[in-house]
Structure 1
Amino acid sequence: MAKYEFIDSQRKHAHPGWTVVNMCAWLEVSKSGYYNWRFRPQSATAARRQALTARVRHFFEESDGTYGYRRIHADLAEEGTEASPELVRQIMRDEALYPCQPRPRRVTTIPDDDAADIPDLVQRDFSADRPGVKFVGDITYIHTWEGFVYLATVIDCYSKKVVGWSLADHMRSELVEQALLNAAATTRIEPDAIWHSDRG
């Protein structure tokens, strides 16, 4: 049966010269045996597995590709579909359904309860009539093979371009200070310019 399955899988790719006749000869099986296998009635076991595979794929896609076999097994059990956890795991492996678990969110804004309120001078207006008068920025994190790094950016509201940035493995004030220094080195900043972050 394994030889027939191989022939059937390669037949769909239409490799030059890989005809059913040639592959049967190479694998020393009869052409009639292959066609008898291919057009045989589907067994009850195969039909059940095909239906189960469809339900596994359904729950996997419903989870946006985040559910592993345990969660999908629980969903199957809840709807009344019987299947062992190991069978669900095998189906997911055969169908290349590998879950991608969302990483925990990193907090990049830590408010200081003792700090005075800072007025919002931008008021959701992120436009500017000339460069160097209004800037916005924020800190985001990037996951690397060696851990998290943090990126601070400075964006000119006039050009919408990043005019300064800084990258470090911490979120101390020096991270933002360096981004602002880089911005000052690449663009003119007016004396009364506004700097707006997510804390005002």
Structure 2
Amino acid sequence: MRRIHATSDGVYGSPKIWQVLRQQGERCGKHRIARLMREEGLRGIPARKPWKGRKSGDCPAGITNQLARDFTAPGPNAKWVTDITYIPTQEGWLYLAVVLDLFS
């Protein structure tokens, strides 16, 4: 059990370790593997769930498209656009927000 957990770089949890042991011909139960892993302090890394954001064409209710893809501005301060992005770092998330005057 420890060997399988180590060879998976600590990713495999009890269900996957149980499956590998069964494929190797070992007879054991899922709950027994889970209990033994808890006693040994072994934990798997859960898979990330896909992010379900909104589609880019969808607008919240009451919000209208003011630019209608016309990115030319007649003068300064006539049209402003913004964007925000999230940058993962070792310390946590960084948020980069940009504000742009379309005239420049």
The normalised TM-score by structure 2 is: 0.49
Q: Which structure would you say has the larger Rg? A: 1
The normalised TM-score by structure 1 is: 0.29
Q: Which has the higher helix share?
A: 1
Indicate the structure whose relative CO is greater, using CA pairs within 8 Å and at least 6 residues apart: 2
